[in-house]
Every structure is written in C-alpha cells, then in structure tokens.
Structure 1
C-alpha cells in the first residue's frame, strides 16, 4: 500500500533536518570527545598526520551511532514545531486528521532508524573501533616494555568458539597463569590451567606445573584429570598473536559480548556489567523510536520555532535521558531490577511520558 500524501510529506520534511542533525551532533561530539584526545595522543606518541587522520575517520562511526538518536529528536522537534507554527497541523486537524494519525509515519520512521542504527552498531562500529584501537596501540606500545596483562583470545571454527585462551601476564615468549578452554560443537572437551608457559623455537607452547581436565563427549561423567610438570600444548598461535585483545564494549557486537559473558561466568566472576552493556546496545539503538514520538509531541506544543530552540530542547531532553540511563544502570548493577528492564528504564519512562503528552494533545 502506497503511503498517503501526508505520510510522504512528513517523511520528506524530516529528511534534511535529520541529516543536518547527524552532521551537527557528530561535529559537536567529535570535537568534545575524540578530537582533543587523539591530537594529544598524536603529540605524545609521535603519530604522523596521515595516521591521525585515519584514526579520526575510524572513530567517526562510533560518534555517528551516538548522534543518530539525537538527530532523530532534533528533526522531529524542528519539523513538527514548524508545522504547528505555520498552522499546517491546525489545518490537518480541522480536516479530521487526529494526532495519533499524524504520528503513524513518525513511528514507522523511528522503527526504521532504530533498526538501521542497531545494524550499524553491530556491523560497522565494532570493526572500525577495533581497527582504530589496533592502529593506536601499534604507536603507543612501540617504545614500551613488552609486558602485557590479562590477555583474552577467542578462536572460532564454523562461527562457534573452539578455543578460549586467558593469559594473566605475557612478557616476550613467556606466559604466566594460563587458562585454555577447548570446545567441540559448543561443548567443553578440555580445560588446561598452568602456572607458566613459553614458546619453543621448534613450534608450539610448553606449559609447566599445570593441570588438565578432559571431558569425553560420549561419557560426560567420566572426567580425566592429569597433573603435569611439563606438557607440550598444540596451539597454533605464535607469541605475536597473543596480543592484548580485551575489547571495549564499542569494539564488540552482541555475539562477542555473549561469548565474553559466558567466559567470565566460567571463571567464576560476575558479568553483570557486561550483561547490562549487552541489553543497552539494543535499548540505545531503539531510543531513536522513543525520541521520534517524544520529539513530535514536544514540537506540537506551542513554542517559537527555530533551529536554536530545536537544538536547545534536544540537548535538554538528552540530558534527562542520560540521567535516567544512569539511574537504570544503577538499578541493574545493584540487581534492584533485572538487567533487561534496567537497560530499558529510560525508554520506558520517556515512552510513558510521551503517551501522556499524546493524550493531552489529542484533547486540545
């Protein structure tokens, strides 16, 4: 079914303010977050100009992902504010078009933007952020000692993890406090813990003073336990491959976050922060939908329409959203609320507020 004229009109009116908002908020966030830090790092670690520009470009997708919900809010406030001041909304309502009907294209656009932003955060942001971090570390660590701590490496086969390695400390070819978990079709088949290990020139790793657990798939109850003083472990990774691969949350997609949560659970630690981050990836992406509805409602309220008013009102609402997000994070980390509910706390509160506004506007 083709969109009606009013739906196409609202979509067309929202397009340019949305693009302008993305550019404006990306510029503001880039200048206030990544730019000054990267310039300082470039001076400190003697990063050449070409590499600095590449780092800025690689950091932009993360900033754009943050800017999209803000731009959605700005565009809906600006467009509906202008439509209200130009009496176009009044004319439409006089012809029997309800507030709820006006919001249908807004909701559809909000869902589309949210889904695109979710995909962008899953596919583009992790890859660009990881590449940026590796490039930066290549300059930062070039003149520093080769000691690295808390290294996590996950190897995949057929899109399933088949080996997870944790090394508490690495210096050159020497390792300390090593844990290796090996899987087959998703089931744990071997767990190795060793106090020390090193790379041998013939190829392979020798582990010392460790213990090995073997879990047969055909007989899960029969677990073999082998203690050893020296054991040659067949791991194809070379010392250069065992770099510190601890990723920040923006460097991981949701599948990688789940893998890390499961790994942390196996080590006996509490992964509640990562669980919150996992749910917030979706919650923040779908804040665009909430912002669309709220922005339209705020735009319909009488106020002087201008870009400065739109940006100011957007920043005020975003500040409120950040406060609610912090409260929700606190509720989740302290387990007052389930993680998924805590992550969606700001969306729920603002969504309920938007519904109240819609009902109030509908009666005017």
Structure 2
C-alpha cells in the first residue's frame, strides 16, 4: 500500500491549460469554420431549391420578371436560415471533433493538459455568436422578410395589392368581433363592422356627448317607449338611467371608412351607423336573445375610440392571420400584456410560443454542448458515425420540442415548462457529458 502511494506521489500531473492558447484555438476554429461553411452552403442551396420547386410555377404563370423572382427568394432566405443555423452548428461541431478524434488529436490535446471543455473553446464562442445572430433573425429580420415575400407574391403572382378579403378578427379579450370586407396594407380600411358591447366611455362620447337637439332625437330613436320618461329626468338622473339601459348591451358599429392614429392609439370610424341589441332577459324566446334590434341603425359622421375602448392596433389584426409561431417574441409579449382578460386557452398558446421562441435560438449553443462530448466519445468510429448521431439528436430534439409545444398550447403543460424544458434539458445533458468526460 505504501509502495502504491509512493508511486502516485512520484507522478507529475500536467496542469490544466486554459488561456491563452492562440495556436490551438486558431487551428480548431479554422477546421470548424471550413466544415460549418460547407454545411451552411449545402443547406441554403437545398432550401432555395425547395422554395423554387414549391412557388416558382405561380411566378412563371403570371409572367413575373426575374427580378421579382430573385427578390422573393431573397426575402424567403432568412426564414430558412434560422432553422439551418442550429442544424449546421451541431453537424459541423460533431464533424470537426470526430475528425480530431479519428486522428488522435483529441487524445494529444488532453494528454497535454487541455480538457475536453477547453478543446472546444473556440467553437463555444462561435456558438454564442451564432445564437445572437439567430435571435436577431427571429425577432427583427424574419417577420419583416416573410411579410415582404408574401406581398411580392400577392402583387406579382396574383396580380393584386396585398389584400386580405373577408377578414374576421376576434379580440383576445373576446369583447370585439371585427368584420372587414377587405383588409389592406394601407392605413385606412373600407366597409368595417365591429360587434362589441356598450361601455361607459362609448355612452359618454356617443350618447351623452351629443348636442341638445341631437340628444333628444337620439334618445327617442334608441329608447322609443321609454324616451319620454328618460327625457323628463334631471341631467344627472338621465345619465344614470341611460348607462343602466345601455351598458353591457351588444352593439354593432358600421363605418364606410376606418383609420388608425398610431400616435394617439385611437380608431376613427367615419360615415357609418350603429345598432344596439336586446338583453338576454328582454325577449321571451331564448333563441332570439341578443339578436333582436333595440332600435333602427343610427347614423353618425365620426366616432373616435381611444385605446381603452379598442386596445388592438392594425398590426394586432394583421398578426392574427399569421401563425403564432411566426410572431416576434416582443409582439407576443405586448399582446399578452395589453389584454388582461385574455382567455386561458389563448393565453396558453401565446405564452407557450413565447417561451419556445426564447429557447429555440439557444439550440445553436445546445449543439456545441452536445456535439463535443458525443463526437469524442468513441474516437475510432469516425466522422460518419458522428454525423449519423447528430442527425438522430436533431430528430429527437425537434420531436420532443414539438410535442411539448403542442401540450403547452393545449393547456396540458405549463407554458414556461413546455417552451423551455426541451432546450434546457438537452443543454443540461451536454454539460453533464462535458463535466463527466473532462478528466
């Protein structure tokens, strides 16, 4: 026993090397970037060919110019690149480290006191940079380029301005239902109907705020048999009675023209009419409750609705026709923040996507955490086995992430857990492997 202790004491262990290692880092970085660039180029070409195969026939039938086709493909490219980045990162990392392992270079590095974690230091830096790029793509670039691509396709291939016909929009608090004959990219909309409920603000501005002559005529039109009794009350009692009669009733506002002031966050309805409906307890037959009109359509010249009465903006309406997964994180957060009465089902969908979008760009960093230990696990298996392993990991990660995403949107899993858990779990597995194999 003493002899063994003396033998171990005679051993001189090489100290761990961290920074600086410029020659080693430069060599690893150069080899990785070569392979990463090749993979990026291959995947970009494949995605471009996919877009060409899927959409080019529409442009050719419309006899679109080559310039329009190239613009469309260029705007579609960033949306494809954001998915390519993490895949290429994982494949490139495993390809590079597997090549080092096959040539016994990893063994030489570790024998020289360089840990497995430190071997991939330059690749970790690239992973962080690519993660930042992916975040920029997801949050700032892709929403704009995807919209521009669709506008080009509508204008060139379909021969019309970007218009959404017969668009309906239900506000996230379920209080307003918009009907658009056409929803265009212009500031003003034509022929718009909003189905909502009377609020105190609407009553004050539209009914109580009318001039004396207009007020009397409006009350007689709206309340009919009750009009004389209401008009005989004092001003204070009259306002109280009108609020009691109207607040919470269904009302439709139709306008020939609707515009939005982004600075004031206010909607202006022009040249239209409004119609109120009965309450649930005002009609004998249940099937007709809320559908019988309280009065004939009342015309108006202009009505302004502030942010409190109609909080949604045109961008919210446009975003509603997009897939929730394509919305920027800040847009999702703003929608949730501004709608306190959002139903639980809608809240689960938005917040699950929100946390998933926060986690997804970090898949680039996840690729490094997984790629280094797995590629060097068996140094003699070669690059082919590393690439096969990488593809398997990518498939497992995507499947698990999508399953959690569906469960989170359905309210089965907590949105935070559903959005973050798959990515954090895979990063944790990679970190554990690195720490386990560091000696």
TM-score (norm 2): 0.62
Q: Which has the larger radius of gyration?
A: 2
Question: After superposition, what is the alpha-carbon deviation per residue over 1:77-98, rounded to whole angstroms, capped at 9, x for unaligned?
Answer: 0111111111111111111222
**Aligned match of 1:198:** 256
Provide structure 1 residue ranges, at least 5 long, that are not aligned to the other structure: 154-164, 181-188, 212-226, 236-240
- 8 Å Cα contact 2:154-2:161 kept in structure 1: no
Paired with 1:193 and 1:17, the residues of 2 have a C-alpha distance of 63
**Aligned match of 1:186:** none
Deviation (angstroms), 1:46: 5.3
Paired with 2:25 and 2:80, the residues of 1 have a C-alpha distance of 30
Distance 1:29 1:276, change over 3 A: farther
**Aligned match of 2:346:** 270
Deviation (angstroms), 1:42: 2.7
The answer to whether structure 1 residue 24 and structure 2 residue 42 are counterparts is: yes
- 8 Å Cα contact 1:149-1:244 kept in structure 2: no
The answer to whether structure 1 residue 168 and structure 2 residue 179 are counterparts is: yes
Question: After superposition, what is the alpha-carbon deviation per residue over 1:241-275, rounded to whole angstroms, capped at 9, x for unaligned?
Answer: 99956344565432222233346665657232222
TM-score (norm 1): 0.74
What secondary structure sits across from 2:273 in the alignment? strand
Question: After superposition, what is the alpha-carbon deviation per residue over 1:86-139, rounded to whole angstroms, capped at 9, x for unaligned?
Answer: 111111111122223324433333222212211222222121111111222234
**Aligned match of 2:117:** 100
User: Whose strand proportion is higher, 1 or 2?
Assistant: 1
**Aligned match of 1:147:** 165
- 8 Å Cα contact 1:276-1:332 kept in structure 2: yes
Paired with 1:48 and 1:69, the residues of 2 have a C-alpha distance of 34
The answer to whether structure 1 residue 233 and structure 2 residue 308 are counterparts is: no
Paired with 1:334 and 1:251, the residues of 2 have a C-alpha distance of 18
Matched residues, number: 320
Paired with 2:418 and 2:39, the residues of 1 have a C-alpha distance of 28
Distance 1:144 1:359, change over 3 A: closer
The equivalent position to 2:149 in structure 1, one of 107, 125, 132, is 132
Paired with 2:56 and 2:124, the residues of 1 have a C-alpha distance of 40
Deviation (angstroms), 1:15: 1.5
Paired with 2:325 and 2:61, the residues of 1 have a C-alpha distance of 24
Distance 1:251 1:323, change over 3 A: closer
The equivalent position to 1:280 in structure 2, one of 337, 350, 356, is 356
Structural RMSD (CA): 3.8
The answer to whether structure 1 residue 337 and structure 2 residue 413 are counterparts is: yes
Distance 1:249 1:56, change over 3 A: farther
Provide structure 2 residue ranges, at least 5 long, that are not aligned to the other structure: 1-17, 183-188, 198-204, 207-249, 259-267, 277-294, 306-313
Distance 1:149 1:3, change over 3 A: farther
The equivalent position to 1:115 in structure 2, one of 123, 132, 153, is 132
User: Which stretch has the larger CA shift, 119-128 or 8-17?
Assistant: 8-17
Deviation (angstroms), 1:284: 1.1
